[in-house]
Amino acid sequence: MTEAAELHRPQPGASSAPAPLLSVRNIEVVYDDVILVLRGLSLEVPQGAIVALLGANGAGKSTTLKAISGLLKTEDGEVTRGEIVFDGERIDGVDPDRIVRRGIFQVMEGRRIVSDMTSLENLRLGAFTRSDREVGRDIEMVYSYFPRLKERTGLAGYLSGGEQQMLAIGRALMARPKMILMDEPSMGLSPLLVKEVFSIIQKINRDLGVTILLVEQNARAALSVASHGYIMEQGKVVLDGTADELRDNEDVKEFYLGGAGDQRKSFKNLKSFKRRKRWL
C-alpha cells in the first residue's frame, strides 16, 4: 500500500457517516415529578441540516426543544431517562445558560421578545454570552437579513407579528449559535409572511451554516425547507424519513398535509355540485 493510500484508509471502528451534531437518545421527560410527557424519544440532527419535528398540538414538540435547550428546568420538568449529546458532549441536565454557551439557542413559541425594549435592545440581549467586540458588526448583519427591524426604532411590542418573529430569530443569531431550535415560527402569521420567514430560515442555514431543528404544525412549510423530518405523537416518534419520503407518505398526506382532508372537503363540494347539476 502506498503512503497516500495508507493515510486515506478508514480508521478501525470509524463509521463512514460523521457523528450528528445533535443526538437525542431515548429520552423520557417528566413534569412536576409525575406527568410523563416524552416516552422514549430519539432523533438526530446532522451538522448543517434543517430537520423538521412535526406533530399535532400536545404531541410533545415544545417539550422536546426545552429538553434540548435546558429550559425544562424553568418549568419543573426533567429528563429522567436517556441522554442528549451535542457536539460530542452530554447536555441533559446542564443549565440553560451554559447550553447557550455551548452553541444552542432556542427561539420560543409565541416569539417572547421583550416588548418594552427596542429591537436593538432585544438584539443585544441575544448576545448576553459574548464579550467580544464584534457584537456591533453582528447587529448590522442581523439588519441585513431583516432590514425592516432597522427602520422600526420604537418599542418591540409595537412590531407586527411577522416583525416580532424576525426579531426573535435575529436575537438568536446574536448568540452566534451552532444550532437554533425554532418553535412554530409560522404560528399566527399570514401565508405570505410564513413564506418570507421560511425563506429567511433557509438563508440563515445556507449562508451562516447554522444547523436548525424546526418544530412546526405547518408540515407543508417545514418540509419545504427541511431535508429530513420526524413525526411525533404522544411523546414518541412514530415516523421519520427524508422530506421527500414524508411528503409522499399517504398517512402524512392524510393527517398533516391535508391530502385526504381536502378530498373529504371536495367530496362535500361534489355532492353540491351534483345537486346543482341536476337543477341545471
The site for ligand ADP (CB under 6 A) is made up of 31-32, 35, 37, 55, 57-63, 75, 77
Q: From ligand ADP, Mg ion, none, which one binds at residue 37 (CB under 5 to 8 Å depending on kind)?
A: ligand ADP
Distance separating alpha carbons of residues 84 and 29, to the nearest angstrom: 12
Strand, helix or coil for residue 234: coil
Select 146 or 230, whichever has its Cβ closest to ligand ADP.
Answer: 230
Q: From Mg ion, ligand ADP, none, which one binds at residue 136 (CB under 5 to 8 Å depending on kind)?
A: none
Minimum distance, C-beta of residue 222 to Mg ion, in the bound complex (Å): 13
Minimum distance, C-beta of residue 62 to Mg ion, in the bound complex (Å): 3
Minimum distance, C-beta of residue 138 to ligand ADP, in the bound complex (Å): 30
Select 62 or 118, whichever has its Cβ closest to Mg ion.
Answer: 62
> Strand pairing partners for 84?
24
Smallest CA-to-CA distance from 84 within 101, 70, 105 is with 70
Minimum distance, C-beta of residue 223 to ligand ADP, in the bound complex (Å): 17
Does 186 interact with Mg ion (rule: CB under 5 A)? no
Select 60 or 103, whichever has its Cβ closest to ligand ADP.
Answer: 60
Close Cβ partners of 40 (under 8 Å, ≥ 6 residues apart): 26, 27, 28, 81, 82, 235, 236
Considering only residues 39 through 98, tell me which ones interact with Mg ion, judged by CB under 5 A: 62
Minimum distance, C-beta of residue 91 to ligand ADP, in the bound complex (Å): 18
Q: From Mg ion, ligand ADP, none, which one binds at residue 55 (CB under 5 to 8 Å depending on kind)?
A: ligand ADP
Contact 246, 55 (CB under 8 A): no
Contact 207, 199 (CB under 8 A): no
Q: Count the residues of the shown chain that bind Mg ion, applying the rule CB under 5 A.
A: 1
Sheet holding 22-31, edge to edge: 35-45, 22-31, 77-86, 89-90
Select 32 or 116, whichever has its Cβ closest to ligand ADP.
Answer: 32
Minimum distance, C-beta of residue 232 to ligand ADP, in the bound complex (Å): 7
* Nearest residue relative to Mg ion (C-beta): 62
Query: Element (H or E) spanning 182, and its range?
Result: strand 179-183
Contact 73, 127 (CB under 8 A): no
Distance separating alpha carbons of residues 106 and 87, to the nearest angstrom: 16
Select 63 or 205, whichever has its Cβ closest to ligand ADP.
Answer: 63
Q: Is the dihedral of CA 263, 265, 267, 273 positive or negative?
A: negative
**Interaction site with Mg ion (CB under 5 A):** 62
